[in-house]
Amino acid sequence: MKKIQNLSLRTWQKNCLSKALEVFQNGQQNFMCVAAPGAGKTRFSASLAKSLLDADHIDFVLCFAPSVSIQNSIQGTFSNILNDRFDGRIGAKGLVITYQGIQHAYQELAHVIGSYRVLIISDEIHHCASGVSSTSNQWGQLLVSLISEGNPLTLTLSGTPWRSDSTKIALQSYSGEPQELDTDFVYGLGDAVRDKVCRRPSLILLDNSSIGVQENSETHKFSSIRQAIEAEKLKYSDLLTHQESLSQLMTYAHEELIRIREKHSRAAGLVVASSIDQARRISQFIITNFNESAIVVSHDQIDAHDNIRDFQSSEIDWIVSIGMVSEGTDIPRLQVCAYLSNVRTELYFRQVLGRILRINLKTDEPCSLIAFAEPKLIEYSERINQDLPEDSMRIKVLEEQTLMKTTDSNQYAQSTVKNDFITMKTISSNHSHTFDSLHNIAPETSYSIKMAFCKDSYRTTILSL
């Protein structure tokens, strides 16, 4: 193969490119790359395709993507790096389609794979399951079948290399006991943050230290959302549909965006909503209460993908999405995310976090994800912190008023119980800690923050990663 060209790649991309070329040259057919969301997997894969095309090692590049928005992003990047069309028409260097589109173009794709030297690039390969017969995993079955029509080189990519249903990922090998995914190159979130390839995120989890749940004549009191949920007296969905809880979280998210905009004027916010109705209410809340602009995007909109694309170059302050801006979508000006989704899997949580990690113009850009302190989300946040460098977790606690839930009427009432302001301590990532109490707080590492809530304030646990 020819020598790798200087394509202005990051160090990790150059190293991965060298290894991939070496692997393919030595006869291996598949190369698996795991890299943090926002690290630049698409640019790496386009550079690999260019090197293989320039070396006359392949004739055609075929890319698969999990959504139309990612498909459009891949097409633009490949066309730019290859300096050629990438639309599948006569004379083009390649084609990108969605996994769903395989079933509609199977015969044509099989002919190309069987007749030419093809590089197949499967983006976000975790969407494709292996050895599963259910229709929900048809993508994996079709992909494996399609590749068997010839002898192509395959590049598989993922930022979150596991599946929520615990099935194996298509085209991948596993080893060990318990079995773990075999990878050829890994560039994790900790590496990306340390190299200033991705932003250092802050995870902000809002809690309440005085929750009362009234059942008939009995009142159950809890000192955290976690306690109330684990006692099965409060549902996570209650928080997502309760107007006061939503308004407090969105007010905090708004304050974060205002703070970030002091240095990054074009920063924007993302809300991941749980339903179309909730998305519309939140959008109206933003417009009415913050005097800021907002747009709603959902699968039922014909122009949703155009709106997502146009948002990047627009001056709109917030984009409110129902599952459409969760992975692969390239909107670098997003720096704040309000996580209000009913989905509580680590895969989805990390994918949403990835939407605010991509650096736009400067290496010191902050970003924040705000969510309720639900037990699983706390667990995921702790694991994300373990991926990052030492001493990257900071916890701040605010306590003020009480939230009371009456199950009979499904109404909330507030008391005026007030508590002291608790300071923050920097804690090492390997430190054992609890989110219900803090000990040995160091005054020199403490600082006050502006109160975002005026009616009923939540205890705020902030993991500044």
* pLDDT tens digits for range 28-78: 999 999 999 888 999 999 999 999 999 999 999 999 998 888 898 899 999
Assess contact for 163 and 137: CB atoms under 8 A.
no
Tell me how long the chain is. Answer: 465
Res 306: pLDDT: 82
| pLDDT, tens only, 126-158 | 888 876 555 447 888 899 999 999 999 999 999
Token digits for 196?
């200033």
Residue 444 has pLDDT above 60, yes or no: no
Output phi, psi for 363, to 5 deg.
-85, -10
| Largest pairwise CA distance in the chain | 79
Q: Is the peptide bond before 375 cis (omega within 30 degrees of 0)?
A: no
Over the chain, what is the mean pLDDT? Answer: 79
Q: Is the pLDDT of residue 385 over 90?
A: no
Answer positive or negative: Cα dihedral of 84, 68, 333, 45.
negative
The pLDDT tens digits for 222-270 are: 888 888 899 998 889 888 888 888 888 899 999 999 999 999 999 999 9
Q: Residue 50: which H helix or E strand, with range?
A: helix 41-54
